[in-house]
Amino acid sequence: MIVVPNRYSGPFGTLGKMPVIFFFVISDLHLYLAKWGRFNFSGCNCFLSRKTICAFFLEGSILTATTYNRVIYPKQLFMKSLPMFFFIASLFVAQASQAQVCNGALLWSDEFDGSSLDANKWSYQTGNGCPSLCGWGNSEQEYYTNSANNVYISNGVLVLKVIKESISSSSFSSGKVITKNHFSHTYGRFEARMRLPKGRGLWPAFWMLPNTNSWPTTGEIDIMEYRGDQTNITTGALHYGQSYPNNLNDGNAYTFSSGLDLDFHVYAVEWTANDIKWYIDNTLFKTETKNPNSLTPASNSAVWPWTTDFHVILNLAVGGWFTGNPSTANVQLTKPTFEIDYVRVYDLNLSGHTQTAYNGSTYPLPGKIEAENYDNNCRGVYYDINETNLGGQYRADGVDIENCLDAGGGYDVGYSEATEWQEYSVNVATASTFTVAVRVASGGTGSSMHVEVDNVNVTGAIDVANTGGWQTWQTLTSKSFELAAGNHIVRLAYDGANINCNYMEWKDLLNKSFGVSELRAIQVEDFADRILFHNSAGAKVQVFDIAGAQVGCSFVVVDKALQLNKTDLPAGIYLYQLDDKAGRFVVY
């Protein structure tokens, strides 16, 4: 197989532009088409399997697959047994196409690699709910069995299958498995990769109940529910409140671009002490919070019952209120199988993942921070409601970044919603009094934002009125505040929607020189629209084009710095020489 390093195209990271040589050896492989996806890389038809982080590339191919932990084999290798094979593939470029995601420690999983259901991890739940809860309280028409006809493993995939047959007064047989008495947990990321059935009346579910269950008072978490006659819609929900008929639920639907019966997708919740978030393929589509309590309708019983161990349930129901209560004759078994590739549970302790500055070093303050250059980490360095880059530019994660039409170009963070934020690692050389000037644009109604340092709001509300357009820019300056010397985490936070932000300019009101030494210790800051040569007043600066010809430039003195405006120069690469400092800069 061809082993890809940890930085590759997919939710765990990105392989940058780098030459890689792959070696692989394949011997006596048993490869099965049924469990693979199909990909096409520059005309090479390939099949995608499921377990290890591996890939196949042709020279120059570009990987845009959005799944991970998989193996890709060329189509010609698809056969039951192969002799040993050796292959070398060379240069390629890989690019990410999904949000960057990581998890804590893996607490529990089932990859369904055995020949039958693992009795150490799962139990069957059988019957139709009678006599105490016939139809499972939902007017369902199935009878759950422990038969291998209804619950079986095929090619590393757990299959729950509906069969039309008369069994104990029910019209269909099906499968339901639970982890109760085997595994349960409080908080974490619960995820499964699944392909859903198709047909009127089919109702697959991936959900959780507490071990001590007094439904609905003790709560229910529905990670995935789906109607087989609405194949591009999945839902997530919470159930709570008083006993029936005073029970309550809070659910949301997510409409996918294609039928969820066609391909495998990853469905997940991330459950913490204060919130529960629902994802499909790492796209966040629902969030509920304990404080402030977001449940709609508000609970008429326990305010937030999701504080104890829950176990996992997988089942494929037939009929019932959720599917529109079709009659037995109207149920359609177009694709009567619910396929589960794996189930995994992670904790959300991310202590092993370190927040780092985007460019590898902290921003020096005073100075300028580009809004799009927020810190790196798998999570915890930003919050964005939709977890999709709506602007589609610059970075492949959930922050909405778009091209900026302001002077100097570059990018801006846009499409803001209330409660969204980004974080930046900074260093303050000398304790002082500062202000922050934010470069903003808004085409909406009035809104506000603020800046925090180490979780303290230092600016108060910065009011942003309609500027006349989403790319009509104004600079707004905050009130002054004190900052201690040393490293800090800055958070740019949006109190309301309709704000685009280009950058933050931090100004030291006491120490006018940005240089770190009164001796001429020259520092160079390269911005999109200008270059500042700090502590360089009185120095001789020469600028050359890439061919070595000297270029005439005009400089202005800003405090003790010389400023060169890039807008005075044509696009290109330039070299500079200033005393004993030399370097280059680019004009776009």
Residues recognised as catalytic: 220, 225
Q: Could you give phi then psi for residue 322, rounded to 5 degrees?
A: -60, -35
The secondary structure of 113-174, three-state, reads CCCCCCCCCCEECCECCCCCCHHHHCCECEEECCCCCCEEEECCEEEEECEEEEECCEEEEE
Evaluate whether 448 touches 462 at the Cβ level (below 8 Å).
yes
CB hemisphere CA count around 506 (13 angstroms): 28
CA distance 345 to 79: 33
Residue 525: count of CB within 10 angstroms of its CB:
15
- Pair 21, 90: CB distance under 8 Å: yes
Distances 447 to 223, 242, 440, 501, 526 between C-alpha atoms, Å: 34, 39, 11, 13, 31
Q: Could you give the CA distance from residue 586 to residue 588 in angstroms, rounded to a whole number?
A: 6
Burial state string for 352-383 with b = 16 or more CB within 10 A and e = fewer than 16: ebebebbeeebbbbbbbbbbbbbbbbbbebbb
Tokens 């500055």, located at residue = 357
Strands, E assignment, 384-431: 401-403, 411-413, 421-428
Assess contact for 498 and 420: CB atoms under 8 A.
no
Cβ(225)–Cβ(207) under 8 Å?
yes
- Which SS3 state, helix, strand or coil, does residue 276 take? strand
Pairing of strands 176-178, 382-383: unpaired
SS (H, E, C) 314-377: EEEEEECHHHCCCCHHHCCCCECEEEEEEEEEECCCCCCCCCECCCCCCEEECEEEECCCCCEC
